[in-house]
């Protein structure tokens, strides 16, 4: 995470792995409330949602390829391949979230990050949005017009983007002024 990153919704998120200590130090310096971090190999994130514990685990092949498994209440709901990292960036609402913003890290510098929204449903079901973003790993979220708004600032030559997530649908909006 770079300094200046705006990330809301960290309550209940427990990052684990080699980067957990670094993330905690950066968040503390930035004045963000403490994150409960633990050290585990391979990195794993989890958050308690309205419909069970959402866990992200990674399985690395002998060739070094990673598969990220998203488990809701122990049930596999999605897999992501070909990425350097998948992490929980934000959640809404703060208590017992139903929506989780996932940060998909490429590990490169050309397009370091994109996002997906995972919405948890009763019965251990989940819906995953399509990938979106302008390659920036910076974002801001807010609740607006009965939808979750995700604003991504301009990065390099890529324009700012704003997205609304409502009723399992992601819609691109006109970016907020000043972005």
How confident is the prediction along the chain (179 residues), in pLDDT tens digits per residue? 333 333 444 444 444 444 444 444 444 444 443 333 323 323 348 999 999 999 999 999 999 899 999 999 999 999 999 999 999 999 999 889 999 999 999 988 889 999 999 999 988 899 999 999 999 999 999 999 899 999 999 998 999 999 999 988 999 998 766 54
Q: What is the DSSP string of 28-94?
A: HHHTPPP---B--TT-EEEEEETTEEEEEEEEE-TTS-EEEEEEETTEEEEEEES-SEEEEEEEESS
Computed on alpha carbons and rounded to an integer, the radius of gyration of the chain in Å comes to 16
- For the record, the structure tokens of 74 come out as 């122990």
Q: Beta-carbon neighbour count of residue 149 at 10 Å?
A: 18
Q: What are the domain boundaries of the chain?
A: 13-173
Q: What is the pTM of this model?
A: 0.74
At 42 the pLDDT is 32
The pLDDT assigned to 59 comes to 93
> What pLDDT score was predicted for residue 117?
97
pLDDT, residue 177, reads: 62
């Amino acid at each position: 995470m770079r300094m200046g990153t705006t990330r809301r919704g960290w309550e209940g998120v427990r990052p684990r792995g080699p980067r957990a200590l670094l993330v905690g130090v950066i968040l503390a310096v930035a004045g963000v409330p403490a994150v409960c971090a633990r050290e585990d190999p391979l990195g794993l994130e989890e958050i308690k949602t309205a419909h069970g514990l959402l866990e992200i685990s990674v399985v690395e092949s002998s060739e070094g390829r990673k598969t990220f498994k998203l488990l809701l209440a122990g049930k596999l709901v999605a897999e992501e391949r070909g990425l350097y990292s998948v992490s929980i960036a934000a959640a809404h609402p703060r208590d017992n979230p139903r929506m989780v913003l996932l940060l998909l890290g490429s590990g490169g510098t050309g397009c370091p990050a994109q996002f997906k929204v995972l919405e948890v449903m009763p019965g251990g079901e989940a819906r995953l949005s399509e990938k979106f973003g302008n390659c920036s790993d910076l974002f801001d979220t807010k609740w607006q017009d009965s939808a979750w708004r995700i604003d991504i600032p301009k990065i390099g030559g890529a324009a700012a983007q704003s997205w609304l997530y409502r009723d399992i649908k992601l819609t691109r909006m006109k970016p907020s002024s000043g972005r």
